[in-house]
Amino acid sequence: MSQNENSNKTASDYVGDYLAVLKHERRLSDHTLKAYQRDIKKLLDFFDSKGVLLWQGINPHNVRLFAASLNAKGMNANSIKRILSSGRGLANYLIKCGILKNNPFDDVRAPKGEKRLPKTLSVDQIVSLVELDADDPLSYRDKAMLELFYSSGLRLSELCGIDLNDLDLAESIVRVRGKGSKERDLPVGREANQAIRNWLLQRNALPIKDFEALFISKLGKRISTRNVQERVKYWAKRQGVEMHVSPHMLRHSFASHVLESSGELRAVQELLGHANISTTQIYTHLDFQHLAQVYDDAHPRARGKSSQNAKPEIKNKPE
């Protein structure tokens, strides 16, 4: 691209070009692209309000002021980190276009925030949730979705995107498309397998319009993410699970329960479709919390009040 062509482009043009690159080269979803667009808009609105000249006027000092303004508004550290990451990606694109020489975001870090461990359900809560009494096509569908969420640790978008030809119930395998359209084959548990079979027997009772989709709405179209969220929330309340339950919580529960039982962090990483092991390591903290609770409840000199006065029971005298 010539310098003259560059000079005729507006900030919005460059943002549009960058989002097009993300869509076609990185194959990001529309949902993710909209998040990038919102983040970049916040950044550009701030610079515009400060009279900063785009793009040469953006420097590390201005970026730090931007991050500080987000922090002052009460935005959490993870959100600020995500917005700065969006800006960093855009700046790298502008460097490739010859608009910037250096990336002003490289030396700017978001404030450190408190790490929040994902909430999970206990095994008993999971059982209460998935063992619903199905008596019509929609409840059979919902039972199959809940079982599959917990059986295979799916993301919400992955479950909604499953087609009939992605299933191999004879081999108990489902193929899903994760982030970046990366495909992976996952095992389907016995209960989930049977729940899906039961749903398929009921599926034709609905006015099917999307014949490829595994899960459809009552109108026959591929089920939406919002619909699934509402159905999970509905069944959690109806089944007596006294906490807000989301599809992502079922995924977290799957991961923590598998790790707790197996200790195989790499296997959990592959099942979840995480690109980096560091993302999966959050579940080691959940596992440690469980072990710490067991210790507190059982050890005679642990912190638990009930255990402070307990004496160990010796059934067999050592020889």
pLDDT of residue 202: 97
- pLDDT value of position 151: 92
Q: What is the reported pLDDT for 310?
A: 41
- 155 has catalytic annotation: yes
283 given a catalytic annotation: yes
Q: Name residues of the chain where pLDDT drops below 70.
A: 1-7, 113-117, 279, 283-319
Q: Which is the catalytic residue, given 175, 184, 221, 274? A: 274
Q: Any long-range contacts for 135-143 (C-beta under 8 Å, 24+ apart)?
A: 136/202, 137/199, 137/202, 137/203, 137/205, 137/206, 138/218, 140/195, 140/198, 140/199, 140/201, 140/202, 141/199, 141/202, 141/203, 141/215, 141/216, 141/223, 142/231, 142/235, 143/195, 143/198, 143/199
User: pLDDT digits over 185-221, tens only?
Assistant: 999 999 999 999 999 999 999 999 999 999 999 999 9
pLDDT value for 56: 76
Q: Within 97-244, where are the H helices?
A: 123-130, 137-152, 156-160, 190-203, 225-238
Q: Of residues 155, 203, 252, 257, which has the active-site annotation? A: 155
Is the dihedral angle over the CA atoms 90, 92, 97, 101 positive or is it negative? positive
The model's pLDDT over 34-77, given as tens digits with 9 standing for 90+, comes to: 999 999 999 989 888 888 777 778 888 888 888 888 888 888 88
Active site residue 257: no
From the candidates 179, 184, 222, 233, which is the catalytic residue? 179
Q: Is 179 a catalytic residue?
A: yes
Q: Choose, from 175, 184, 222, 248, the residue flagged as catalytic.
A: 248
Catalytic residue among 203, 251, 252, 257: 251
Parallel/antiparallel/unpaired status of strands 167-168 and 173-177: antiparallel
